[in-house]
Chains A and B, each alone.
Chain A
């Protein structure tokens, strides 16, 4: 925390009443920075895991196995049809209590902590949507492409990996970006199971300092910056992957 900024924000508080307390109070500063870091970790892990779940799900839907197809179908339905908030509570309070945990004398050290459950639950939720988006991308790859690949002697898996997937990825990038942005914002729900991410810490700070408006502004800025950064990443990816002749 720089002394100059601290003095500046203290001054702003005295002159305007706007209390960005975490800019000059060491305790609240620590809380805020921890919250921002936890959020950043949560967002990155959730986005990566949901893409992995989506890829696996879409590949399974493409496979010939009927059972795999049905399992993925059930997974997608379950996670799309229930609110992510309910899923979080279900995983943390429901499944979390059934899994083995270590007795610490008066409380239990669980196998998977609150942060872990937030990542698992939100990634599974995001993964369900990503599965569907990848599937739509795969389906929009023209049949003739596959036939051409087959004619060249590609196996089924080779066709999927080298022909279908690269094209499908390009087709579904805009839709994928949209759903991942939603997921990024849904990470704020993790406050429900007391994961100390930025929404949670903001609530703690405004409870202690009665500066709700200032913390709301902070949250808006944080999520706006996060989404802006992510959008830039996605659009540069789109540009890099653009193929002449394919929209």
Chain B
């Protein structure tokens, strides 16, 4: 008697469990996310807070720069309000995974490891690499570095290639501050650093006698990202489309000029490739 009741109970609960899980499996998380964004009326985009001029806070505390401008384009395409969320390089992937932001446009290099954990959308939108910050007129081409002291920061991957390719004598310091101080003190002819750092220093207003005279080497592209499950869904495809149009129409290059940065060679090439006569 008791046993029969137990069996019936188990049978019924198994049935309900099965019945309720079938429609749940059919729900597409990517589509759900898009619906949620539309009903919320707000697209949350993660951007950096202190990387000038890509994304930083202006005098009144607002997040401005190339990446916030790109975020505006994306929100416009979705047709909702934009909310910028400041992220750090160390937590940006977690912000995406934990649904704290919908899209990430955060100075992030596109690497195979990152592609495994977040949905980096194609096309990439920018590229950065090694360049030289030096006194105006001191050097004109990479070959000019031959035999001369060049400052750098310990730990960057382009020290050895630069030594081998140009014959420069690289002095690597433990931190950016020391390397920059060494350049200012005239201890080296240039500061071998990524062009993002170099541009940031130039724009800080304290390096007016300096320039970035050489074309960037060893460029790695930057990618925007959505959640991994959303990459091939509506949001991922939408971001893809916006980036594609911004590159093809030259809008992104215009943004670079507007924010007074040289568009990387990678971007100019990409833009050229997508252009129709």
**Interfacial residues, chain A to chain B (CB-CB below 8 A):** 27, 89, 93, 96-97, 101, 104-108, 110, 114, 191-194, 200, 203-204, 207-208
Q: Which 9 A-B pairs rank lowest in CB-CB distance, beginning with the nearest?
A: A106-B138, A194-B171, A108-B186, A107-B189, A106-B189, A97-B185, A208-B160, A107-B186, A203-B154
Expressed in whole angstroms, the Cα–Cα distance for A107 and B160 within the complex equals 21
Mark B116-153 against chain A: 1 for CB-CB distance below 8 A, else 0. Answer: 00000000000000000011011100000000110100
Q: B205 within 8 Å of A by Cβ?
A: no
How many Å from the CB of A110 to the closest CB on chain B?
7
Q: Given that A194-B173, A204-B172 are contacting pairs, would A93 and B181 also be in contact in the complex, using a CB cutoff of 8 Å?
A: yes
A-B contact pairs, 22 of them (CB 8 A): A27-B160, A89-B178, A96-B185, A97-B186, A101-B186, A105-B138, A106-B138, A106-B148, A107-B148, A107-B189, A114-B171, A191-B154, A192-B178, A194-B151, A194-B173, A194-B182, A200-B172, A204-B154, A207-B154, A207-B155, A207-B157, A208-B157
Expressed in whole angstroms, the Cα–Cα distance for A203 and B190 within the complex equals 21
- Chain B residues lying within 8 Å of A114, measured Cβ to Cβ, are 171
- Chain B residues lying within 8 Å of A203, measured Cβ to Cβ, are 154-155, 172
Mark B166-192 against chain A: 1 for CB-CB distance below 8 A, else 0. Answer: 000001111000100110011111100
How many Å from the CB of B235 to the closest CB on chain A?
36
Expressed in whole angstroms, the Cα–Cα distance for A128 and B190 within the complex equals 36
Expressed in whole angstroms, the Cα–Cα distance for A204 and B138 within the complex equals 27
- Chain B residues lying within 8 Å of A208, measured Cβ to Cβ, are 157, 159-160
Interface contact A191-B174, CB-CB below 8 Å:
yes
Expressed in whole angstroms, the Cα–Cα distance for A193 and B148 within the complex equals 17
- In the complex, the chain A residue whose C-beta lies closest to that of B136 is A106
From the candidates A106, A110, A192, A207, name the one contacting B159 in the complex (CB within 8 A).
A207
Interface contact B134-A106, CB-CB below 8 Å:
yes
- Chain B residues lying within 8 Å of A108, measured Cβ to Cβ, are 186-187
Expressed in whole angstroms, the Cα–Cα distance for A200 and B154 within the complex equals 9
Q: A200-B154, A208-B159 are in contact. List 4 more A-B contacts (CB 8 A).
A: A93-B181, A106-B139, A192-B173, A193-B178
Of residues B134, B137, B157, B187, which shows the largest number of chain A Cβ atoms within 10 Å of its Cβ?
B187
Interface contact B172-A194, CB-CB below 8 Å:
yes
Expressed in whole angstroms, the Cα–Cα distance for A192 and B156 within the complex equals 16
- Chain A residues lying within 8 Å of B171, measured Cβ to Cβ, are 114, 194
How many Å from the CB of A221 to the closest CB on chain B?
22
Expressed in whole angstroms, the Cα–Cα distance for A104 and B173 within the complex equals 21
Q: Given that A194-B172, A204-B154 are contacting pairs, would A93 and B185 also be in contact in the complex, using a CB cutoff of 8 Å?
A: yes
- Chain B residues lying within 8 Å of A194, measured Cβ to Cβ, are 151, 171-173, 182
- Chain B residues lying within 8 Å of A96, measured Cβ to Cβ, are 185, 187
Expressed in whole angstroms, the Cα–Cα distance for A105 and B189 within the complex equals 8
- Chain A residues lying within 8 Å of B174, measured Cβ to Cβ, are 191-192
How many Å from the CB of B136 to the closest CB on chain A?
9
- Chain A residues lying within 8 Å of B156, measured Cβ to Cβ, are 207
How many Å from the CB of B100 to the closest CB on chain A?
32
- In the complex, the chain A residue whose C-beta lies closest to that of B171 is A194
